[in-house]
Amino acid sequence: MRYKVGPNDTINIGLIGCKGMGFSDLTSFLKQSDVNVIALCDVDESVLRQRTQDLEKAGIKKPKWYRDYRVLLEDKDIDAVIIGTPDHWHCLQLTDALQANKDVYCEKPIANSIQEADIMLSKVMASDRMVQIGQWQRSQPHFVDAIDFVHSGALGEIRLVKAWAYQGWMKPVAPMPNSAVPQGVDYNMWLGPAPKRLFNANRFHFNFRWFWDYAGGLMTDWGVHLMDYALYGMKANTPKSVMALGGKFAYPNDASETPDTLQTVYEFDGFSILWEHATGIDGGNYGRDHGIAFIGNNGTLVLDRNGWEVMPENEFQGWGQDGIPKMKAAKYDSGGVSGLDLHTKNFTDAMKSRNSASLNAPIQVGYDAARVSHMGNVAYKTGNRIYWNDAKGAFEEEKSNFLSRAIYHNGWKLPAF
């Protein structure tokens, strides 16, 4: 029985949720010569077959198959699991994996509610397991360099941070009728703690992101990546208040539930963070379809997955004050380095050293980004400016607290603190 990986050990991995980002994560892990995949778990047999074929084409023998992640966790040969399932499953699967003494690489966002995020943070902090959250930009060198520049103070006082995701590739989700569950799909297991519903292809696989039962739309899907760096640059974690406006403005009659257009404002001491997202549009701020902008008195630093640049502020000549010093324009590209590959390697290195402090995206990073993103959705649903009481760890309004909680169905129980 292996509960800990040593510095010279081969790492055996099991993948839970094999359709999308989970398999991308696994592919990255398998670039490391000391990593094996020995188990795949998915509720859709066609996905298990396809991913097994993909692995066999790469010369990797067929892993064991599981339909129920709890059975996979009983496999004593597995050192770590990748959780690549829809968001509504993350809390249960991560806490169960910790109970089974597995290290965990968990996809973002860590949870589908603030309450679940609180539970996950508590469980991980009480465990000796290595847990990395899939916010891989934390391992991307040009992101790290950009934040070092922000922290240098060269931008001057930063009064506003913008983060945005304008996703032109996202088109309307055409309504379709409910249908029979596809052959080979354990639909009850896919639903898990989510409300019981008839099967509809729009709510399955990739498009689960646009339905509140399973996820939080672009606010949590892209928001955790970009809001993470907004918070990181400002050395912040919890806003004083949040307000949000938006709706289904572009595609009011499509099948999705989450807003296709949203602006969320977070109030902090001395600065604000503004989140924006829009589907069907690529023309975001500064000509970029996604990014983070730190707007300071001396200049603005704009950062995205392709690189970052500094745009100096023109020298101020008014009001009889000294001019703002001009900055030197700077531009840096990503260098073509895979942040995901660096991120998965960082995780396996931490598994071998048993040093959680070496993780680039530990649970606290995932927690801060997920909580702030979910706050944006809570503000949108209430339609009010909502206030956070940090001493109580709760919103001032009971309705907002209710919306931040998880309600489990179908006999599944929310893990206890």
pLDDT at 1: 45
| Cβ atoms of residues 130 and 5 within 8 Å | no
pLDDT at 417: 81
Sheet holding 80-83, edge to edge: 64-66, 35-41, 11-16, 80-83, 103-106, 131-133
| Cβ atoms of residues 312 and 249 within 8 Å | no
What are the angstrom distances between the C-alpha of 113 and each of 172, 271, 274, 336?
Answer: 25, 26, 21, 35
For residue 124, report the phi and psi dihedrals to the nearest 5 degrees.
-70, -40
Identify the CA nearest to 245 among candidates 104, 381, 101, 75.
Answer: 381
What are the angstrom distances between the C-alpha of 294 and each of 114, 135, 146, 166, 346?
Answer: 26, 20, 10, 18, 27
Q: Could you report the per-residue pLDDT of 358-375, keeping only the tens digit for each?
A: 999 999 999 999 999 999
Whole-number Å distance between alpha carbons of 15 and 36: 11
Q: Using pLDDT thresholds of 50, 70 and 90, give the confidence band for residue 325.
A: low
What are the angstrom distances between the C-alpha of 224 and each of 74, 94, 97, 268, 302?
Answer: 31, 18, 23, 18, 17
What are the angstrom distances between the C-alpha of 239 and each of 119, 285, 377?
Answer: 20, 23, 14
Looking at 42-150, which runs of residues are DSSP E strands?
Answer: 64-66, 80-83, 103-106, 131-133
* 126, pLDDT greater than 80: yes
| Cβ atoms of residues 101 and 323 within 8 Å | no
SS3 assignment, position 303: strand
Does the domain formed by 11-138+340-363 have CATH 3.10.180.10?
no
Query: Which DSSP symbol is given to 168?
Result: T
- Residue ranges covered by each domain of the chain: 11-138+340-363, 140-336+369-403
Q: Could you report the per-residue pLDDT of 167-224, keeping only the tens digit for each?
A: 999 999 999 999 999 999 999 999 999 999 999 999 999 999 999 999 999 999 999 9
Q: Is 407 exposed, middle or buried (0-12, 13-18, 19+ CB in 10 A)?
A: exposed
* 395, pLDDT greater than 70: yes
Identify the CA nearest to 149 among candidates 299, 276, 334, 343.
Answer: 299
Superfamily assignment of 140-336+369-403 in CATH? Dihydrodipicolinate Reductase; domain 2 (3.30.360.10)
* 106, pLDDT greater than 70: yes
Region at 184 (left for phi over 0; alpha for psi -120 to 50; beta for the rest): left
SS3 assignment, position 216: coil
